[in-house]
């Protein structure tokens, strides 16, 4: 079990300052590490996670027991829980990241000027990344591996509910760093539950943090955005919508709706609002809602839906802006794709939206007029995941518009510089 540092506010500030200095010291050797060295490190990390599976499970059992005693919700507990399959998925994700093309040094664009100068735009590491996250311990592995691949040291501040699990996973990452002879301080886990540590990170640790990535609930993200003195990759809540068009295949609509909501209700890509074209209320609405109810989903229905499906709770204004992260879905009838777009643009957090339709014009309008990070056609919103995008893993889904948007993977964790090659040119 992790021995947490019990410190005063001054002690926490000193602890975090030391972590920041050590991360900065690791930045240059990591930035110039070869692709082969980083690949070897990641493979060693994945192997260590598999080798220490029981240690991770034992640590997770402590967090689970503590969570049960403190009355955490079922969805929160699902995000916290690890098992054999999830640990193997963590290791597989790291191995997949290892197999990705190393982005550092990639030439993004190049061109020649009339004066003979040759200009290249080249990917570089962002610098020291601070990741602040809540219950999911797998973020420790995903964030550590992604930042390493992109040449960035990372400071991980996990939620207090998952600190034991995160510490066990972090120990495996450090084992991989040691095996490949990279700085152990390249991936650091904040060893305290003191919330003052978050405040110190948001101040930037005396200039030693270059970017903050929050991954968690609305309160965490709002705090980070309000208090951070360094750039932030915005990860707002996942108020994700699924729209069933009048042209939708019914069997497909039922299957996608149940999966989008119920596969894992506690993930940010879970559908929270179901919009159904009023033109197919008599044919599509009831079968979809019956399938959701049979899967254990509670239904909060708009007035028009209640007329067709009475076995539901009346929806309130709050339902349209709720990220339930639970087996609950808000349902509304809309006037075709135009009505769906209007509702989504009014209430969405711009995370992920999906349309089920066979009408190509409806799909193109949906894609063109909705400004969310991820849009899907005839597929579950639960595909909003970096692993499913072929990125190996992700730190989160960025809903802002600056620098990164959608799954934040290896490429999104880089910046760029310009290389200009001349043959003796001077400016007149």
Sheet with 187-189, strands from edge to edge, namely 187-189, 154-157, 129-133, 211-215
Long-range contacts from 194-199, C-beta under 8 angstroms, 24+ separation? 194/5, 194/7, 194/9, 194/12, 196/9, 196/12, 196/13, 197/12, 197/15, 197/16, 197/157, 198/132, 198/157, 198/223, 199/227
Q: Which of residues 215 and 44 earns the better pLDDT score? A: 44
The residue among 99, 398, 424, 57 whose CA lies nearest residue 236 is: 398
Please state the rounded mean pLDDT for residues 69-93: 91
Strand extents, DSSP E, 308-347: 313-314, 328-334
Distance between CA 138 and CA 140 in Å, rounded? 5
Indicate whether 392 pLDDT > 80: no
Indicate whether 4 pLDDT > 70: no
Question: Is the backbone of residue 78 left (phi > 0), alpha (psi -120 to 50) or beta?
Answer: alpha
Residue 180 near residue 41, CB atoms below 8 Å: yes
Strand extents, DSSP E, 260-379: 271-277, 298-301, 313-314, 328-334, 352-356, 374-377
Indicate whether 104 pLDDT > 80: yes
pLDDT digits (tens, 9 = 90+) for 59-77: 999 999 999 999 988 878 8
Helices (H) and strands (E) in the chain, counts: 14, 16
pLDDT digits (tens, 9 = 90+) for 128-137: 999 999 878 9
């Amino acid at each position: 079990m992790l021995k947490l540092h019990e410190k005063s506010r001054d002690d926490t500030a000193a602890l975090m300052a030391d972590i920041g200095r050590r991360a900065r010291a690791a930045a240059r050797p990591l930035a110039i590490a070869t692709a082969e060295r980083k690949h070897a490190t990641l493979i060693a990390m994945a192997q260590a996670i598999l080798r220490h599976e029981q240690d991770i499970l034992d640590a997770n059992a402590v967090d689970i027991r503590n969570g049960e005693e403190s009355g955490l919700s079922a969805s929160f507990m699902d995000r916290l829980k690890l098992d054999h399959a999830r640990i193997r998925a963590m290791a597989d994700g790291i191995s997949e990241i290892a197999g990705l093309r190393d982005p550092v040094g990639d030439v993004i664009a190049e061109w020649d000027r009339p004066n003979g100068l040759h200009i290249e735009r080249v990917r570089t590491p962002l610098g020291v990344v601070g990741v602040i996250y809540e219950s999911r311990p797998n973020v420790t592995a995903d964030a550590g591996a992604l930042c390493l691949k992109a040449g960035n040291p990372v400071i991980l501040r996990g939620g207090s509910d998952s600190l034991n699990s995160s510490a066990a996973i972090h120990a495996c990452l450090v084992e991989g760093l040691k095996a490949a002879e990279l700085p152990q301080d390249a991936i650091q886990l904040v060893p305290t539950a003191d919330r003052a540590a978050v405040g110190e990170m948001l101040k930037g640790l005396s200039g030693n943090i270059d970017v903050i990535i929050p991954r968690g609930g609305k309160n965490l993200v709002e705090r980070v955005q309000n208090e951070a003195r360094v750039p932030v990759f915005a990860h707002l809540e996942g108020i994700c919508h699924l729209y069933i068009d009048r042209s939708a295949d019914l069997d497909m609509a039922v299957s996608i709706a149940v999966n989008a909501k119920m596969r894992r209700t506690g993930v940010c890509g879970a559908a929270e609002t179901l919009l159904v074209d009023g033109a197919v209320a008599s044919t599509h609405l009831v079968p979809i809602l019956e399938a959701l109810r049979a899967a254990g989903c509670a239904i909060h229905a708009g007035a028009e839906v209640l007329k067709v499906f009475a076995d539901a709770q009346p929806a309130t204004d709050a339902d349209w802006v709720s990220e339930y992260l639970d087996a609950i879905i808000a349902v509304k009838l809309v006037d075709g794709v135009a009505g769906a777009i209007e509702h989504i643009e009014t209430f969405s957090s711009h995370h992920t939206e999906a349309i089920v339709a066979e009408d190509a014009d409806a799909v193109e309008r949906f894609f063109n007029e909705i400004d969310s990070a991820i849009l899907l056609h005839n597929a579950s919103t639960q595909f909003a995941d970096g692993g499913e995008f072929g990125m190996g893993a992700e730190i989160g889904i960025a809903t802002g518009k600056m620098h990164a948007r959608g799954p934040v993977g290896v490429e999104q964790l880089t910046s760029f510089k310009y290389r200009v090659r001349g043959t003796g040119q001077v400016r007149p």
